[in-house]
Chains A and B, each alone.
Chain A
Amino acid sequence: MNILGIETSCDDTSAAVYDGHCLKSNIVSTQIVHRHFGGVVPELASRSHIQIIVPVIQEALNQAGLAFSDLEGIAVTQGPGLAGSLLVGLSVAKGLSLSLGIPVIGVNHLEGHIWSNMLDNPDLAPPFLVLIVSGGHTQLVRVDDWGKYRILGRTRDDAAGEAFDKVGKLLKVGYPGGPAIEKLALEGRPDAFEFPRAFLDKESLDFSFSGLKTAVLNQLRAHDEGWMLSNRKDIAASFQEAVVDVLAEKALYAARQEGDRIVCIAGGVSVNQRFRKRLSDAVVPEKIRVLWPSPSLCTDNGGMIAAAGHFYLASGKSSSLSISPMPSLNFA
């Protein structure tokens, strides 16, 4: 059953085809226009989506070697995300659904990230734990079964990726901050600065990254720009270490609490090599397996939406033509 997945929740325009066994294509077009503004500008994101959505979908079909008539369903991100961006994907999906006479399936973006792990590990079976870390989200989710989720913890302020972007701005490395900080950190000392790790209450699986960002800011305020430039490798490494320490420890707490042996990572921050190393090292004594999707499935992509949509359609569930964007859609 070929499902087209459309994802336009933020600044990536993506389309993919998944047939229940194989991801036949996964086209992602990242909008670079936002770099000039140091962050995603919603109106510009919407403008870019409507401009390139058709060629992106056509390329997804071409690469899959399929025609529109081979599709049996259109899966599309309904939320969470930017309302105007979500609207473009939803409107196009409804048009395709109407013209092809096939159902549209509204998919939760965060659930999509969970499914991205299945695409790289087809044998992955619940129960397992997922840590979603991206520019917009930081959540620990227990997958009791496909379609049955419990949120164990979430960020109380900034998402982890957001903290990378904000610190990236402070260190003047451009947007997005994640890859640039990771690169700087390779040449810096992670113990050069003692930045706070917010573990919150001992039992809590929630996250908080705004204090860390403020600590970096305070450090910079005490000095001039020349000092910042000559120390930023160490600042980047120390900041990154503080983030990945918290992420790894909380994931480990959660796995212990739930008795899980599999921890999956999802979202854009999971491409960070230091994070992967830190978590892999942490789970060794616990005999816990860590799974990561390949980089193209970590960031926002239509493949994960197609996979989630396939699951729902195969279970006989689809959406009506009246589905609307849900910018703060939650699940579980």
Chain B
Amino acid sequence: MKILGIETATSVCSVGLSTEKQFIGETRIHRQGLHAEAIAGMTNCLLNKAGWNVRELDGVGVSIGPGSFTGLRIGLGLAKGLAMGLNRPVIPVPTMNAVLWGLEPEPFRACVLLTSRKNEVYRGLYHWKDNEWTESSSIDILPVEDWTRDLPNEPAYITGEAAGLCVIPSRFTGIKRISTPAAFPGGYGVAALAARQLQRGEVIGEDPVPYYIKRFQGMP
């Protein structure tokens, strides 16, 4: 099974390749505003270097959010175009799961923080169950300084694009902060998770939309 993964939800622009069994390749560049211009060329280049013909792809994984609205649409637009031309599925992968991809299980809990707008963060809480990271509660949008709201004082990772901005109060013990670049999601994680989802038949919907979380304000 040959899967492409596209990751443009954060300030890292990345593309990766994976089979259901192994890592094939990944390109990631941390540069704000690069995504629209670069992601298609990076995809083409990585496929060439890996010796994969685009027509061999079995599916196109894409980081579906939460994240930058524009970033999500750049990645999903490219994924939709690729999948349509190949007659293969788009496989939407939750961005926070892509952040957690490859993290050692211990201490078995994780708090993922991604950048939102207006000094806010998206916060997702996860625990390790049946050999994978599972959502413990639904994703919240919180002010950066309030990221520990209702957070249990237990050993856990904090990771994600916004993890570096958050001050860890001294009462919290056993917090392991993951630093860059591992705190960013990457295309390989997206591809690997997409391969797993495809294998399990977890392809959510035929034609996905970004996972914005935020409803547009003022909608009737």
Residues of A within 8 A of B (CB): 36-37, 41, 43-44, 46-47, 49-51, 53-55, 57-58, 68, 84, 87-101, 320-325
Contacts and interface: CB of A to CB of B under 8 A. Distances in A.
Contact of B209 (A47, A87, A94, A97): A47
Contacts of B44: 98, 321
B51 interface: no
Interface of B: 36-41, 43-44, 54-55, 69-70, 73-87, 207, 209-210, 212, 216, 218-220
Contacts of A37: 218
A151 B38 CA distance: 32
Nearest to B217: A43
A51 to B, nearest CB: 5
A90 B207 contact: no
B41 A57 contact: no
A95 B210 contact: no
Contacts of B212: 47
A98 B73 contact: no
Contacts of B220: 36
Contacts of B37: 322-324
Nearest to B206: A54
30 contacts: A47-B209, A50-B77, A51-B209, A53-B77, A55-B207, A87-B73, A91-B36, A91-B39, A91-B73, A91-B74, A91-B75, A91-B81, A92-B77, A92-B78, A93-B81, A94-B78, A95-B77, A95-B79, A95-B83, A95-B84, A96-B85, A99-B81, A99-B82, A99-B83, A99-B85, A100-B85, A321-B40, A321-B44, A322-B38, A324-B37
A98 B43 contact: yes
B70 A46 contact: yes
Contact of B80 (A41, A47, A53, A324): A53
A12 to B, nearest CB: 17
A53 B76 CA distance: 11
Contacts of B216: 41, 43-44, 47
A5 to B, nearest CB: 14
A325 B36 contact: yes
Given A43-B69, A47-B216, A50-B73, A95 B38 contact: no
Interface of B is mostly: helix
A325 B79 CA distance: 18
A10 to B, nearest CB: 16
Contact of B70 (A54, A57, A84): A84
A95 B85 contact: yes
A99 B90 CA distance: 13
Contacts of B55: 99
Nearest to B209: A51
Contacts of A94: 40, 78, 81
B36 A98 contact: no
Given A43-B216, A95-B79, A98-B40, A57 B84 contact: yes
A8 B39 CA distance: 20
A87 B207 CA distance: 18
Contacts of A57: 84
Given A36-B220, A98-B43, A99-B81, 18 more contacts: A46-B70, A46-B73, A50-B73, A87-B77, A91-B81, A92-B78, A94-B81, A95-B82, A95-B83, A95-B84, A95-B85, A96-B82, A96-B84, A98-B54, A99-B54, A101-B54, A324-B36, A324-B37
Which of B38, B76, B220 has the most chain A CB atoms closer than 10 A to its own CB? B76
A325 B76 CA distance: 16
A90 B210 CA distance: 17
Nearest to B42: A321
A321 B41 contact: yes
Contacts of B84: 54, 57-58, 68, 92, 95-96, 99
A150 B130 CA distance: 66
B44 to A, nearest CB: 6
A99 B38 CA distance: 16
A106 B32 CA distance: 23
A49 B40 CA distance: 19
A187 to B, nearest CB: 31
A95 B41 contact: no
B40 A95 contact: yes
Contacts of B78: 91-92, 94-95
Contacts of A323: 37
B75 to A, nearest CB: 8
A92 B70 contact: no
A51 B81 CA distance: 13
Contacts of A53: 77, 80
